[in-house]
Structure 1
């Protein structure tokens, strides 16, 4: 070995390049600048001071910040969280990082938990078939991009090495799922190879985490209560929070509903209820005929239910929504067990022809004018044979029948703001009647 060559110092820029080429972690790179002291103890006071500074900079996150239970760990590269709201901190990292940057790390880690990155990561991993360490790192990077694009500034210092979408040539303002679908590893990713924000960021448990049975873990009810309190604070003072947090707070109060499942459940309930698909038949006499000599009584038999679908084709319904309506018509036909049991009535201000469903691509959705679905109800109920269930797909900008039809009614309501008439700012559309089962679509 050439000891002279080994002792030759390497320029810092050249050493950083060598580190990246050799795939060294950020922790190893930092160890060149300051010797690793295995006896370093966690500076609790410094961490508490950083948390207090984070709460002052982002008061709407204070409830979540102080709900985290702090755990010392020498296996964590920097700081990380698990899904049970424990925050793991490396003593060496805390010792080397200024309080101002630690405050940013606190906010970053609690953001993973508030935005349910662990639950969302598991769902998107199943959808995309992601597994293994590389997928885990990709998910962590995508989650960081969602957080870091607007979390810093205004009194909160961005920590050194915090990954932003622009660093990876990605647009800002997207969700973790969108980043995960678009992002692929490239040379810019080498500096992010050290990332590990714990199972709270990507849903994968770590060996150093305490798990569900460990001390100081929060229950699902406690975690939901913290999220609700934070969302309540953001909604109370919306001007203090970035757009990403305001969007999160709205979804926390009004989470997106699985409307397809809800609409399907409403349909199944309607077509399977008593009276739907029931009719009298002389094909098999009733047993009571034996008690009435010379009189043939019909028996009650169940047949496949008949469904009439009234589709709003007025100008206020978009082409995308009409396409969604056709997909739902096809799903309804499968639910009732046959296309010959479903009729379709396009309607704007007047009802169009009643079509028997053969294939969704062949249904002419004529219209484009005003809206009066009372005509659609009338056409559906006059059709032969009469339907057992009427399904209405509309945006709700219509008058409704004054009395309930003689069958069950399910309304699929395309989401709309409370009022948007420029000529009449006080205008509010009529709500669907109480006798209809309503499911909001979208």
Structure 2
């Protein structure tokens, strides 16, 4: 008997972990190792340059504002051009912007406008990368193992986030934020090289006709026609905004004033990462029948970190809270990806993902920009309690919608094809008619 026929010889990876899936997972691991440390580094770069809560919020808003402005265009382009080309170009922009940010910080005191400009370029890259990457990932797996594949992907990604946050926080404390930003630039370069090998030959060619506006309208019809989809996105428009304000602005300030600085805050973020790994492991085995009911119930604990920072809780308690929050976030994350995978046609994945991203981050620039003024007006503790209350309120509202509670897991995805357009329809769409 040859070794190929031996029953003891097993494939080195599961059947659902194909070439594209493996490349996407490896590149996500690389970028998460760098980016999670860079989040901490950017906040402390602002503080070390003499900035306050308002300045930290402005730099965070500078990243998310172009993300909001360009997301829909990025989604339409990702469904029109080869998705891996869009991803590689976005990674190149992120690499260059982070490298320039690192040089500024290492060379001396960076100006606020310089940090805002460079983080804005990073947000622009993310606006084009996000929809392309999500569409590519969702199209890389098929069949009833999709949920397990998404859970494994997220587990790998969150494991890297865990390591990136812990090492990044330690590096900021020991070496300063500039070197962490430099590492992030290198990570984007490596990830872009990996993503250049992705294969898009399995994705059907787009039908001729129609322009960018027509693509956006078609994506909007897919998005608006599903109440479970737009309700959840509206929920996260508020939830992500207040979570961003709590963790991007108030978190580093509480860490500086009450926890001991960047190192403890990095440990807290690492605890959240450990929780997400645990949640992904759970979702590799658990397949809730009502996808969004299980996922949305698990959004309630996302209010806990803001509450812990409001107290402020001791570091051990904060780390425990962050761990629990990470577990429950992954339950929602895998359930959400599975719902999109089974309900949205492949040729519209990036556009629907763009509307999802757009709604989910639309209020984030405003929230982070207003975090500093809110602290001055109401105090940091009341502002954090307000963040926690808003998360609970919008999650309860989402659960009141029947389609959110009743969306059921299926084994087959939607395969509806885009209708062919007549020449007259294409002409009207190209002229805005």
**TM bracket, shorter-chain basis:** under 0.3
Is the strand fraction higher in 1 or 2? 1
TM-score by length of 1: 0.22
